[in-house]
Every structure is written in structure tokens, then in C-alpha cells.
Amino acid sequence: MTQSPAHPVSANLVLDEPIFDKLTLIGIGLIGSSIARAARARNIARHIAVSSRRVETLTQAEDLQLGDSYTQDAGEAVKDADCVIVCVPVGASEQTAKAIAPHLKPGAIVSDVGSVKRSVIDQMQPHLPSNVHFIPAHPVAGTEKSGPASGFETLFDNRWCILTPLPDTDQDALDRLNRFWAACGANMEQMDADHHDLVLAITSHLPHLIAYNIVGTANDMEIVTQSEVMKYSAGGFRDFTRLAASDPTMWRDVCLHNKDALLEMLARFSEDLSALQRSIRWSKGDELFDLFTHTRGIRRAIIDAGQEVDLPDFGRQAGLQQSDDGNSSK
Ligand code: NAP
């Protein structure tokens, strides 16, 4: 695989012994292909089976040598797998669970990478046999790109991966999945699924909606021309356009499957926006200054936490940006 200088291969991360004999990835887009690359480069699995619904995607994955076997048949792909990771849009979780359920090996770990957790659990759990370990997961790492060619080995390095295990989850299976994601480079966190959905609604889903909205608003302007919007985009607009370029299918599904949390966050956001409007209308400079000072501190804290690069232009020149399906640093 060719690595761009922006995504250097990590050193010292190659395991002596693979964690899984057979790892199956259902879906081989940005996230699936990044897992495949990390798993291959770091000796995480002996055999990587790749499944995708369209033959074009599968051929692309094969050309990129992302796996050891390829099939459009998800049921076929999961046979004998020790670990199956579902990497499809969250709205396709139920149909995927139905397709793989009869073919799963007893004792296999079944996980996913969906940006929403409660809905994925509700869609998948009823169809999975009781003799497999279903452990939902969400790597909070990504970019606005899609497809097998967009992934890279270091996508998960120093990013968080949140597991939302169900009650009575087998500890050994949980440990193995934790080891798997840690080997992919992630820092591990565990959370209740509903709490995950609230946290991600504010940190990821709402920022994407705001970006989609502001870019749409600029597009509808009549008094400011389109060429002016493009020409002066470095004033701030450009940074929203990156989030607003994120995959439409993925984000449609996130909105539809995290409806309650998202509506709650949108309501709070609208209230705060109204307060901001009032501060401007009544020339409350102190209120504006206090808010902007506080938010500047939040950015500093994100940089200090290693979740952003402290470079001019947000590291754009170095190509270091991620958007973490929301956490701008996908
Ligand atoms: P992607 O690059 O668009 O790849 C999507 C994959 O899912 C492709 O293999 C595609 O297959 C398959 N797929 C699409 N629709 C499907 C359907 N209806 N039924 C079965 N398979 C389908 O997407 P991605 O960015 O990797 O996202 C995958 C998952 O990761 C999503 O659940 C998303 O919420 C989560 N996630 C994304 C990010 C991010 O920043 N992108 C970050 C964290 C988590 P074909 O190409 O063969 O159609």
C-alpha cells in the first residue's frame, strides 16, 4: 500500500502473535479499509475476509490488497470468523445482522463501528444467536472521504474507540476486542449506549448539522455572490465545507437513528443562538467577550488532549486533518 506522507506508517505496533485467526469486515469503505490496513500492517489477524455489497467496491478492495478473501455474500464471509466487524451505514445494520446470523461461528465476536449505538443494538441484537458475543463499538475517528481507497493505517492512532457492551458481556471477549482496537492504535473507553448517543450528538452530530446548514445557507444567498463565497472562504466558511462534504448516506442515517438526542441538542443550540443574537442586538460586548474567551479555552484543552494539531490553518497544509465523524481535528 502506498502511504502519503501525511499518514506515515506507525512504528513499533506490530504484534508478535495475531489476536484473531480470521477477521471479517462487512463493508470496506473508509472505516473498514482503515481497519484492514491496520490489521494487515500490525499483524492483528491471520486472515482478513472482506465483504461488500457492490462488486465495484469489492474489486477496488482487492486491487488495493486489503484482504485475503473477498465476497459479496456476507454470510459466506463470516464463516469461521473469530471476529466480525460490521462497517456499513447504521441504517443497514438490521439487514446485515439478518444476513450473517445463521453463519456465525459459536463464540465469535460480532461488533460494529456505527456512529450511533442504541439504534444499532436494537437493529442487530434480536437477530444474533445467543452463542456469539455482540459488543457494539464506535471508533471516533474519520475523515469526510468515503470508499476503500480513502482509508489509511493510522486513522485510529491516538483516537478514542468507545465500546458500549451490553449487560452480561463476556469479559474475555471484551478484553479481546479492547486489545484489537488498542492494536489498531485507539485509546479505549466504555460507555452506556444511550450516553454515547448523547455525547456524540453534541460533539459530532450537531457540528455536522451546523456545517450542512451554514453551507446550504451560503449557497442560497442572493446578495453575496457564489464567487465571493468561494473567494473569501478562508475567513471561516471553508472549515465548515469540509464537514459538510461528509458522506450523505452516513449522515442521513445518523440523523434518522439518533433522532431524540439530536433534537434535544438542536433545541439547546437554538436557545443559545438566540442568546447570542440578543447580546449582539443590545451591544453586550462583555457577554460576547466572555463567551469567546471561554470557547478559546476549550480549543486549547482539545489541543492539550492530543485530539487536534496546533498548527496554522489547522494543519491543512500538512494534510493532518481528521473529522472523526464529527470530532474535528472525524
Ligand atoms: P463508506 O466509506 O461509505 O463505506 C460504506 C461501506 O458500507 C461500503 O462497503 C458499502 O458497500 C457498504 N454499504 C453502504 N450501504 C450499504 C447497505 N445499504 N447495505 C450494505 N452495505 C452497505 O462508509 P464509512 O465512512 O466507512 O462508514 C461506515 C460506518 O462507520 C458507518 O456506520 C459510520 O457511521 C461509521 N463511522 C464513520 C466515520 C467517518 O468519519 N466516516 C467515523 C466513525 C464511524 P458498497 O460500496 O459495496 O455499496
Is 230 a member of any domain? yes
151 C-alpha to ligand 1 centroid (Å):
12
Alpha-carbon span 82 to 254, nearest angstrom: 28
- φ/ψ of 88, rounded to 5, equals -115, 165
Which atom of ligand 1 is nearest the CA belonging to 148? 2
Which residue is closest in CA terms to ligand 1's atom 7?
88
Which residue is closest in CA terms to ligand 1's atom 17?
92
Which atom of ligand 1 is nearest the CA belonging to 96? 20
Is 270 a member of any domain? yes
Using one digit for the tens of pLDDT, what is the confidence trace for 7-64?
444 556 899 999 999 999 999 999 999 999 999 999 999 999 999 999 999 999 999 9
Burial of 61 (0-12, 13-18, 19+ CB in 10 A): buried
Q: Which of 174, 191, 208 is the last residue of a domain?
A: 191
What is the mean pLDDT of the segment spanning 193-197?
Answer: 98
What is the mean pLDDT of the segment spanning 210-218?
Answer: 93
Domain extent for 248? 195-324
Assess whether 168 and 314 both reside in one domain. Answer: no
Which residue is closest in CA terms to ligand 1's atom 4?
29
Which atom of ligand 1 is nearest the CA belonging to 95? 19
User: For residues 60 and 32, is the Cβ–Cβ distance under 8 A?
Assistant: no
Assess whether 173 and 200 both reside in one domain. Answer: no
Whether this model's pTM surpasses 0.85: yes
Alpha-carbon span 114 to 289, nearest angstrom: 38
Which residue is closest in CA terms to ligand 1's atom 1?
29
249 C-alpha to ligand 1 centroid (Å):
8
Is 117 a member of any domain? yes
Using one digit for the tens of pLDDT, what is the confidence trace for 268-324?
999 999 999 999 999 999 999 999 999 999 999 999 988 887 776 665 655 545 655
CATH of the domain at 48: 3.40.50.720
Provide the strand spans (E) within 27-107.
45-51, 69-71, 83-86
Is 202 a member of any domain? yes
Provide the terminal-to-terminal Cα distance of the chain, rounded to the nearest Å.
22
CATH of the domain at 208: 1.10.3660.10
What is the mean pLDDT of the segment spanning 222-249?
Answer: 90
88 C-alpha to ligand 1 centroid (Å):
4
Q: Which of 137, 158, 191 is the last residue of a domain?
A: 191
250 C-alpha to ligand 1 centroid (Å):
7
Q: How confident is the model at residue 222 (pLDDT cuts 50, 70, 90)?
A: confident
Cell 477496488 belongs to 60
The number of distinct structural domains making up the chain is 2
**Given this model, what pLDDT does residue 13 score?**
85
- Residue 112 is given by DSSP the state E
Assess whether 245 and 117 both reside in one domain. Answer: no
Q: Cell numbers of 141, please?
A: 475517528
70 C-alpha to ligand 1 centroid (Å):
17
Helix axes 193-200, 259-281, angle to 10 degrees: 30
**pLDDT at residue 260 tops 60:** yes
Is 330 a member of any domain? no
Q: Which of 191, 225, 245 is the last residue of a domain?
A: 191
Assess whether 95 and 20 both reside in one domain. Answer: yes
Assess whether 167 and 220 both reside in one domain. Answer: no
Assess whether 182 and 125 both reside in one domain. Answer: yes
Q: Cell numbers of 255, please?
A: 440523523
**Given this model, what pLDDT does residue 70 score?**
98
314 C-alpha to ligand 1 centroid (Å):
26
Residues contacting residue 57 through CB under 8 Å, at least 6 positions apart: 28, 29, 147, 148
Which residue is closest in CA terms to ligand 1's atom 37?
325
Nearest-CA neighbor of 111 among 53, 181, 159, 44?
Answer: 181
Assess whether 131 and 13 both reside in one domain. Answer: yes
Pocket of ligand 1 (CB under 6 A): 27-32, 52-54, 57, 87-90, 92, 113-115, 139, 142, 146-147, 247, 250, 323, 325, 330
Assess whether 277 and 187 both reside in one domain. Answer: no
Ligand 1 pocket: which of 53, 85, 254 to mutate (most atoms within 8 A of CB): 53
